[in-house]
Copies of this chain bind each other. A is one copy, B any other.
Amino acid sequence: MYIESLEKLINSFRSLPGVGYKTAQRYAYSILNSDNEVAKQFAQNILDAKSKIKFCEECGNFSETDVCENCLKKSKDVICVVKEPKDVVAMEKVKNFDGVFHVLHGTISPLEGKGPNDIRIKELLARIQKYDTKEVIMATNPDVEGDATAMYISKILTPLGVKVTRLAQGVSMGSELEFADEVTLTRAMESRIKI
């Protein structure tokens, strides 16, 4: 039986990443079974998030203010550069880093027609000059695009006297060597450290 408003809700849920029809249906039924107030709040939270959240003018991360709290309060001596806002969430868990971030909103990817001018590299340079930043940690993904972007930025910044570092690549904690891929093992071998 076709119920128009139900199908529309299911379709909205299907637009979320990794959600197929069955999951979307489950979500929609759970909305129908929830209190009116809860459902209203859900809808309101979507509208609020969309209208209140913009990009921080400095770091490019999500923020409710023009410049985010991080950028207002923290030292800019070290800037950690990531691809997307969600990578900030991951890197914020790192215990021994408490500096600011810089979100590139993409990586250099010739295949997708994305060059250095399509991502926030200019803004990174401006920040480094403004705050006299000492070190830039490249925390782009350990893939071809992430590596290329890190290399590119390193080539620009090193002549300016900025130290550019890259997250170490190696075997993950708790993983088993047996299942590690060749590239990962090769990198881990190259980057081996004295104990």
Known interface pairs A6-B62, A12-B41. Does A1 touch B70 (Cβ–Cβ under 8 Å)? Answer: yes
Main secondary structure of the interface of A (DSSP, over half): helix
Size of interface on A: residues with Cβ below 8 Å to B: 52
A86 at the interface (CB under 8 A from B): yes
Number of identical protomers:
2
Whether the pair A50, B45 counts as a contact (CB closer than 8 A) is: no
Known interface pairs A27-B16, A68-B1. Does A6 touch B47 (Cβ–Cβ under 8 Å)? Answer: no
Whether the pair B62, A50 counts as a contact (CB closer than 8 A) is: no
Whether the pair A32, B5 counts as a contact (CB closer than 8 A) is: no
A88 to chain B, nearest CB (A): 7
Whether the pair A42, B46 counts as a contact (CB closer than 8 A) is: yes
Bound: A47/B43 CA distance, A: 7
Whether the pair A50, B39 counts as a contact (CB closer than 8 A) is: yes
A159 at the interface (CB under 8 A from B): no
Whether the pair A9, B86 counts as a contact (CB closer than 8 A) is: no
Whether the pair B86, A29 counts as a contact (CB closer than 8 A) is: yes
Can you name 5 extra interface pairs (CB under 8 A) apart from A5-B45, A32-B53? A3-B64, A4-B64, A5-B52, A12-B41, A26-B86
CB pairs A–B below 8 angstroms (23 shown): A1-B70, A5-B45, A6-B53, A8-B48, A8-B49, A9-B46, A9-B49, A12-B42, A15-B42, A16-B26, A16-B30, A17-B26, A25-B86, A26-B86, A28-B49, A32-B62, A32-B85, A36-B50, A39-B49, A39-B50, A40-B50, A43-B44, A46-B46
